Amino acid sequence: MLKIMLDPGHGQYENQSPLDKSFYEGTNNYKFALVLKEALLAYEGVEVYLTKNSIGENPSLADRGKMAVTKGCDVFLSIHSNAATAAAYGVEGYYSVKTPGAYNLLAGLCNIVKDNLPASKVRRVVTKKNSSGTDYYGVLRNSVGVKYSMLIEQGFHTNAKELACIRLDEWHKVVAKGQAQVFADFFGLKVKSAAPKTLYRVQVGAFSVKANAEKLANELKSKGYSAIIKEG
Ligand SMILES: [Zn+2]
């Protein structure tokens, strides 16, 4: 079982866009996380958790990271959009100094975002350390023990072209589907099958005389089992 903790960054009304006061990074991160969860659950053998049970919750950075550890998660992914000047654009990924193996997975997730933004780029997929040499980001610093611990900045909500994309439900769906595919490729996941499950039948006897078969069938019926007689 692959256990994934998605962390929608910030509180509901944190990080308002200067370009449109109705956009809050915290709200958008949460909405995207729900869509990504659904996309991941299209695959077999996956459990997906969020660090928030509702959009109104706003756990501390330490608690967010620790939730992934407590749940025994293999993956921690903190979801954000970026802020800078109006000219800044692109995608950034940060993985924990403790989980260098996350690079390829995170690079794949960043590429999906870049491919769905106009003339965009992946700015960097790196680790970021503080002065004591551990992770700069609190969520990553507190997720020690998780095998793949990452934070992604999915475009800039301070850039008009990128904001126009990243806020759309349809964009969430397309990017989430692409990112779920990246997870599937990385971990070798299979799409859940809609085909009927195999049925296993119990046979209790085989007789050359039909009357003997009927006798056993009646005995089973009298005991509350459903029984059928088949030739063959
Ligand atoms: Zn953020």
pLDDT in tens, 13-33: 999 999 999 999 999 999 999
168 contact partners, CB below 8 Å, separation of at least 6: none
Q: How far is the CA of 9 from the centre of ligand 1 (A)?
A: 5
| Cα radius of gyration rounded to whole Å, the chain | 25
User: Residue 39 is inside which H or E element, if any?
Assistant: helix 25-40
DSSP state of 100: G
Mean pLDDT rounded to a whole number for the chain: 95
Q: Determine the distance separating the centroid of ligand 1 and the alpha carbon of 8, expressed in angstroms.
A: 9
Instruction: List residues, by chain if needed, whose CB lies under 5 Å from ion ligand 1.
Output: 9, 80
Q: How far is the CA of 81 from the centre of ligand 1 (A)?
A: 5
Quote the CA–CA distance of 93 and 10 in Å, as a whole number.
17
Distance 37 CA to ligand 1 centre (A): 19
pLDDT in tens, 120-136: 999 999 999 999 999 99
- In 10 A of CB 204, how many CB atoms? 10
pLDDT digits (tens, 9 = 90+) for 44-96: 999 999 999 999 999 999 999 999 999 999 999 999 999 999 999 999 999 99
- 86 C-beta neighbours (distance < 10 Å), count: 13
- Contact indicator for 93, 124 with CB cutoff of 8 Å: yes
* 50 contact partners, CB below 8 Å, separation of at least 6: 5, 6, 7, 8, 33, 34, 37
**Residue 24: its pLDDT value, please?**
98
CA of 80 to the centre of ligand 1 (A): 4
What pLDDT, on the 0 to 100 scale, is given for residue 168? 98
Distance CA 11, CA 21 (A): 16
CA–centroid distance, 25 to ligand 1, in Å, is 7
Q: What are the structural domains of the chain?
A: 2-187 (3.40.630.40), 201-232 (no CATH)
**What is the whole-number distance in angstroms between the Cα of residue 82 and the centre of ligand 1?**
6
DSSP-H helix ranges across 71-195: 103-115, 138-141, 160-166, 169-187
Cα of 74 vs centre of ligand 1, distance in Å, is: 22
Q: What percent of the chain has pLDDT over 90?
A: 83
- Cα(185) to centroid of ligand 1, in Å? 27
Measured in angstroms, how far is the CA atom of residue 150 from the centroid of ligand 1? 13
Tell me, in angstroms, the distance from the centre of ligand 1 to residue 163's CA.
Answer: 14
Do the Cβ atoms of 22 and 14 come closer than 8 Å?
no
Å from CA of 230 to ligand 1 middle: 65
Q: How far, in Å, from the CA of 33 to the mean position of ligand 1?
A: 13
